[in-house]
Amino acid sequence: MFPLSNSFFLQHFKRALADPRSCSISKPEIRFHLGHLYEIQGKYVAARGEYEQIIALPATQVKSFVQANTLRQLGWIHHTVESFGDAASRSATALQFLQRSIEIDRNNGQTWYFLGRYYSSMGKVHDAFVSYRQSIDKSEASADTWCSIGVLYQEQNQPMDALQAYICAVQLDRNHEAAWRDLAILYEACQQPRDALVCYLNAKHCAQVKNEEELSPPAPTIYLESKKEAMSRALADFCTNPQNPVTVIRGLAAALKLDLGLFSTKTLVESNPQCTVEVRTQAQQPSEENWDSNGTNKVWLCESSRSYSSIAKYAQYQAMTFQESMKSTSKRKTFKTIKFGTNIDLSDEKKWKLQLQELSKLPWLFRLVSAGNMLSHVGHSILGMNTIQLYMKVPGSRTPGHQENNNYSAININIGPGDCEWFAVPEEYWGEICNLCEKHNINYLSGSWWPVLEDLYHANIPVYRFIQKPGDLVWLNAGTVHWVQAVGWCNNIAWNVGLVSPHQYQMTVERYEWNKFCGYKSIVPIVQLTWNMAQHVRITNPKLFNMMKTCMMRSLWQCQQMLDNLKKNNIDVIWHGRTDEEHSHYCETCEVELFNLLFVRRSESNLQTHLVHCLNCARNLNPDLENFVVLNQYHTDELMRIYDSFTLAKRSKT
Ligand SMILES: [Zn+2]
């Protein structure tokens, strides 16, 4: 169980070493790469082990360039890794290795560069210069070398020479942050603040520019091999770590013996053929692009028309498009129109008993209902959030870009048989994506958009791009921006969870406030939820406790202010109360959550209907609140009691 990264290559090299057959690169060379990988990972002892095995071989068995490179790296790690002994003996060993490397290959610029760095740190300025000079002569001159030469000159109080060297460095590599910074410091010391400023700004720009690898990082991926791993604390910690915006979990279905066949189109048709499917009609397009309806311009707007169908009918469509794809080979000029079956509600426990039962095998973090899930404390169902939704797809079906409601985390399992392609951006870039949406005249929260990938790279926004195979569970951490396109024919199931943690709560509250500011509805009633959690959940984290207490205090204060003002104006408040499973009320006009006090009037078009408002919107309609009835749902004493008895719980010893 490890993320696919260097460790993957490590396994690869180890296997290559163990393979008795001969291959195009020699064993010592493979061993060198293995050692170098360890070195990159900071596993210096392991790296030294591999390198030493190479130089222990008879010289005739090792190609000279492998020998020279091995000696060079051995020299460098002895020079830089403090845990390899006292400074004096490390220094002697380092020099020996570097010199032996040079004896074998006098033309390696990198070795001369390391030797220069070695001499420079020993204060042997002349030797350092000679080595750097050699490095520049031997290899294509590198910006690193010129930058080091600059540092050396500066230490020798030769600012003009240092200047020349730094300029060489930035001419070779415009993105050499250290060279720009050193150049800036030099200009500053020489009383040239204008030039210094330009260089500092360049350095800052370099620090922000991400290279290709940083812009398309690999998605953190976990491979599960056993039920124990699936149920482990380590897995939950990995997923909820804010450093991992998204986690792909492979092998979960197998490890837990989940029967995903229960969600296959065949079983769905057999169990609930008449169930409603929302259908989105879209254009099938390459996943990294989005074109306008004429196919002439790349745009962000990605609208689709909505209609309704049933599982049985959509299943026929899925099967029909699959069979057609086997026949037709014609190349179309315009994009094909496709239908995406979305938001199929699986909340009915009677209709979907087997399916819901199967998902209760999941580890607690992923489970639909658990004590540690905020959304289990709302008190009622919020479709698609604390209930499961199903998606039925054909190739090209698109879920446009978004963050989950109130920044909750999300779980998505691909049932297969085809794959899905995902794009995910860390939470901290949502503001920049929001700006890009506005630039395209699209509302980030309520609009429908598909990012043109090159626009994001241009804006220096990293994107995780990965394939979700059948059986893969994708965990989206709080606030991750994402958009998804089906590669093949497949079904997906998805729902939200909200870990009871300070990070999740903070993200949720921040988005709640932002929504309020933008006049966009938060479908999770956070104030009500907070009061519920205060009564039903043991909160042991002080940060979370304080945030919740603040939220409760604010709502109490607001209620009291409104009550005082109503009393002053001789407006009666009528007791209404609240049933256990009653949904929270939202203002008819601004869609803000209403807690405790409701301002109600009869609809003018239909006198049977009552419309609920917040105080602000009610007063906008009628400053004296004529025609309004004010209802309240809690006694102030009751709220005070809950507030006072909500205390920080002691962490139980386990
Ligand atoms: Zn309102």
pLDDT at site 331: 58
pLDDT surpasses 70 at 505:
yes
Distance in Å, CA 481 to ligand 1 centroid: 28
Q: Which residues pair with 481 in a beta bridge?
A: 425
CB 522 within 8 A of CB 375: no
pLDDT at 7: 58
Between the CA of 442 and the centroid of ligand 1 the distance, in Å, is: 24
Q: Which two tokens stand for residue 240?
A: 């909820």
- Which residue shows structure tokens 């698609």? 384
Answer yes or no: is pLDDT of 402 > 60: yes
Q: What is the pLDDT of residue 328?
A: 67
Q: Are 470 and 419 in contact (CB under 8 A)?
A: yes
Confidence band, pLDDT 50/70/90 cuts, at residue 135: confident
- 635 CA → ligand 1 middle, Å: 22
618 Cα: distance to centroid of ligand 1 (angstroms): 7
Compute the average pLDDT of residues 102-130. Answer: 90
Distance 164 CA to ligand 1 centre (A): 65
Q: Which of 405, 422, 404 is nearest to 413 (CA)?
A: 422
Centre of ligand 1 from the C-alpha of residue 603, in Å: 15
> What kind of architecture, by CATH, is found in domain 215-324+336-478+500-517?
Sandwich (2.60)
**C-alpha 348 – ligand 1 centre gap (Å):** 32
pLDDT at residue 10, as a whole number: 67
Query: In a 10 Å sphere around its CB, with 0-12 CB exposed, 13-18 middle and 19+ buried, how is residue 234 labelled?
Result: exposed
φ and ψ at residue 535, rounded to 5 degrees = -85, -30
Going from the Cα of 599 to the center of ligand 1, the distance in angstroms, rounded, reads: 10
Give the Å distance between the CA of 563 and the centre of ligand 1.
17
Residue 54: CB atoms within 10 Å = 23
Which is more confidently placed, 607 or 506?
Answer: 506
Going by their DSSP bridges, the two strands 573-575 and 629-632 should be labelled as parallel
- Break the chain down into helix, strand, coil percent, rounded to 5: 50, 15, 35
pLDDT confidence of residue 343? 96
pLDDT value at residue 164: 87
Determine the distance separating the centroid of ligand 1 and the alpha carbon of 584, expressed in angstroms. 14
Q: How confident is the model at residue 600 (pLDDT cuts 50, 70, 90)?
A: very high
Q: Indicate the residue type of 536.
A: H
How much distance in Å is there from the Cα of 546 to the middle of ligand 1? 28
Distances (CA, A) of 97 to 77, 121, 327: 10, 16, 66
Considering the domain 6-210 in this protein, what is its CATH number? 1.25.40.10
Ligand 1 centroid vs 515 CA: distance in angstroms?
Answer: 13
pLDDT at 8: 59
Higher pLDDT, 605 or 532: 532
Say how many Å lie between the CA of residue 620 and the centre of ligand 1: 9
Ligand 1 mean position, distance from CA 587 (Å): 5
For the chain, domain boundaries? 6-210, 215-324+336-478+500-517, 525-645
- Name the helix (H) or strand (E) containing 326: helix 311-327
Residue 104 has φ and ψ, to the nearest 5°, of: -80, -40
215-324+336-478+500-517 shares its CATH topology with 525-645: no
Per-residue model confidence as pLDDT tens digits over 464-500: 999 999 999 999 999 999 999 999 999 999 999 999 9
Q: How confident is the model at residue 154 (pLDDT cuts 50, 70, 90)?
A: confident
Helix (H), strand (E), coil (C) string for 374-426: HHHHCCCCCCCCCCCEEEEECCCCEEEEECCHHHCEEEEEEEEECCEEEEEEC
- Find the mean pLDDT for residues 603-619: 90
Nearest to 493 by CA among 223, 232, 244, 265: 265
Name the pLDDT band for 605 (thresholds 50, 70, 90): confident
Distance 423 CA to ligand 1 centre (A): 36
Strand 246-250 relative to strand 276-283: parallel, antiparallel, unpaired?
A: unpaired
Residue 332: its pLDDT value, please?
Answer: 57
- Ligand 1 centre distance from Cα of residue 621 (Å): 10
pLDDT digits (tens, 9 = 90+) for 332-352: 556 889 999 999 999 999 999
Q: Residue 1 — pLDDT band, cuts 50, 70, 90?
A: very low
Higher confidence at residue 10 or residue 511?
A: 511
Question: What pLDDT sits at residue 207?
Answer: 79
Strand 610-613 and strand 221-223: pairing? unpaired
Residue 3: what pLDDT?
43
Residue 537 CA, ligand 1 centroid: distance in Å = 30
Is residue 127 classed as helix, strand or coil in its secondary structure?
A: helix
Expressed in angstroms and rounded, the spacing between residue 629 Cα and the centre of ligand 1 is 15
For residues 625-634, average pLDDT: 95
304 CA distance to ligand 1 centroid (A)? 30
The pLDDT, as a whole number, for residue 330 is 58
Residue 2 pLDDT grade (very low, low, confident, very high; cuts 50, 70, 90): very low
Give the rounded percent of residues in the chain with a pLDDT score beyond 90: 73
Kindly report, residue by residue over 288-299, the tens digit of the pLDDT. 999 998 888 999
Mean pLDDT of the chain: 92
- The residue-averaged pLDDT of 106-129 equals 90
What is the mean pLDDT of the segment spanning 368-396? 95
Distance 389 CA to ligand 1 centre (A): 30
pLDDT of residue 4 exceeding 60, the answer is no
Cα of 643 from ligand 1 centre, angstroms: 26
What would the CATH number be for the domain defined by 525-645?
2.10.110.20
How far is ligand 1, taken at its centre, from the CA of residue 593, in Å? 9
Residue 302 Cα to ligand 1 midpoint, Å, equals 30
517 C-alpha vs ligand 1 centroid, how far in Å?
A: 12
Predicted local distance difference test score (pLDDT) of residue 191: 87
**The predicted structure's pLDDT at residue 155:** 86
For 578-598, what is the mean pLDDT?
93
Q: 184-205, pLDDT tens digit by residue?
A: 999 998 888 899 999 999 888 8
Q: Which amino acid is at 241?
A: N
The CA 588 to ligand 1 mean position distance, Å, reads 7
Helix (H) or strand (E) holding 250, with range, is strand 246-250
pLDDT for residue 417: 96
